[in-house]
Amino acid sequence: MSQTSQKVGGLGNWAPDSWKGHAAAQQPTYPDQVALDGAIAELGALPPLVTSWEIHNLKAQLAEAVRGERFLLQGGDCSESFADCDSDAIASKLKILLQMSLVLVQGGKKRVIRLGRFAGQYAKPRSADAETRNGVTLPTYRGDMINRAGFTAAERVPDPALLLRAYERSGLTINFIRALIEGGFADLHHPEYWELGFVANSPHAADYMRMVETIGESLRFMETLTGQVMSDINRVDFFTSHEGLLLHYEQAQTRRVPHRTGWYNLSTHFPWIGERTRALDGAHMEYFRGIANPIGVKVGPAMTPDELIDLTEMLNPENEAGRLTLIHRFGADKVEKALPPLVEAIRREGKTVLWCCDPMHGNTETTRDGIKTRRLTNIMRELESSWRILGEMGTHQGGVHFELTGENVTECVGGASGVTEADLTRDYRTQLDPRLNYEQSMELALLLARLMSQAPAKPANP
Ligand code: PEP
Ligand code: CO
């Protein structure tokens, strides 16, 4: 049966491809429709990358975060590249997220949901459709899933074969992550497995090592007391997420599963809608409303309270906890004004959402030398403001969304190791947005641990 003819009760005329009846922002124009149809059919027949059990497990954990019982740590590259699908890059992303989560567990005394921005983060929204260099204008680069970064006409043509390459790279990434975790890589008894080579010289090494020691001591104490090895901490859950931007790809992996109702996007546990594609009548909203996964929506300064309420009603009509995470990204200067009216509308209408702060995307700037960067001071300022505002308004910040890498890059300015604007060219590797390096990521984890260990703020109007 074709996907179009399978309608689902409760979703009206929704089908995995019903988005095609709506304006779809940020989609490439494929010159070869036959090749595109062939790639989508092939993708639809290949096995899924994740399962509905895992998806439900994540949704249940996010519901716990809504109740303040867990904390969401979402992070990874702005955009993954096929070339970086290697063991070192994958392991170092896992290591930094594990180290940060250890700091959060220790500081917040709360379990942490680890959600990688990986195994599918291969398509990017762009502000312009075309790019001009030396008088030559070509289609813009939209991520490795869509076209190639090199500046030639041939490389910039959207190529449907890349959909399959992206699926395969995602499969390789998730396979390696699963194998590491199953093998005991994430075992809290052995945090030394996650050490990154250069960490000993980090200004935060001492703080981190103290936390590791404390956790090790508590573990040994508990094990002595109970006479049992605490095996449930030998492994942790790791989930995947990416921006659900390229709807052909998302649609191709959207399936029904035995013994459950509804449709699942089985290319990732948690897809999100970007700031540029969240129009209420647009194709992305149409696609996302029909899938059963927990989902995120980026919320920037242009969002109005009424629009946010309409959006939550469309995406979460049952008001289910864990279904909808609002990933807000205003910028340090705008958060004070932009966040409170949205929080107030959500409270007034009784909507259940998880508030998750992305302090990266509202704080991007270009240096005098034309380099895209972000300042750690602004990132920290937005995080602290968001934390305080949500607490004062009687709710809480349940998570964070970072662009980071476990490597020692110089893309963001600031932090204890003192990356300056002049240092940016030393090791600037990102294809798109500037990422936090190891030390900057740890500094933010330590800041969050401090915020989490403080008593929750009292509601302003009890
Ligand atoms: C991103 O997360 O890389 C991104 C493009 O964010 P936003 O949609 O918030 O601009
Ligand atoms: Co980005």
Estimate the share of the chain in helix, then strand, then coil, as percent rounded to the nearest 5. 40, 15, 45
* 320 CA to centre of ligand 2 in angstroms: 28
- Domain at 9-454: CATH code: 3.20.20.70
Q: Is the dihedral of CA 28, 34, 40, 43 positive or negative?
A: negative
Distances (CA, A) of 314 to 11, 148, 280, 319: 10, 35, 8, 10
Ligand located closest to 274 CA: 1
Query: Helix 305-315 to helix 335-348 angle, to the nearest 10 degrees?
Result: 50
In sequence order, the 6+-apart residues with CB closer than 8 A to the CB of 177 are 90, 94, 116, 119, 238
CA distance 442 to 55: 28
Ligand 1, from 78, 80, 298, 411: best to mutate by most atoms within 8 Å of Cβ?
298
Residue 125 CB–ligand 1 contact under 6 Å: yes
User: For every one of its 462 residues, what pLDDT tens digit does the chain have, with 9 covering 90 and above?
Assistant: 344 434 444 789 999 999 999 999 999 999 999 999 999 999 999 999 999 999 999 999 999 999 999 999 999 999 999 999 999 999 988 889 988 998 898 888 889 999 999 999 999 999 999 999 999 999 999 999 999 999 999 999 999 999 999 999 999 999 999 998 887 777 777 777 777 665 666 677 777 777 777 767 766 666 676 666 655 555 568 999 999 999 999 999 999 999 999 999 999 999 999 999 999 999 999 999 999 999 999 999 999 999 999 999 999 999 999 999 999 999 999 999 999 999 999 999 999 999 999 999 999 999 999 999 999 999 999 999 999 999 999 999 999 999 999 888 999 999 887 899 999 999 999 888 999 998 899 899 999 999 999 855 444 443
Are 170 and 90 a contacting pair, CB within 8 Å?
no
Q: Which pairing describes strands 239-243 and 295-299: parallel, antiparallel, or unpaired?
A: unpaired
In sequence order, the 6+-apart residues with CB closer than 8 A to the CB of 223 are 229, 230
* 191 CA to centre of ligand 1 in angstroms: 32
Domain residue spans in the chain?
9-454
* 360 CA to centre of ligand 2 in angstroms: 8
Residue 274 CB–ligand 1 contact under 6 Å: yes
Nearest CA to ligand 1 atom 4: 274
Q: Is the dihedral of CA 317, 318, 324, 329 positive or negative?
A: positive
Are 134 and 152 a contacting pair, CB within 8 Å?
no
Q: What is the pTM of this model?
A: 0.92
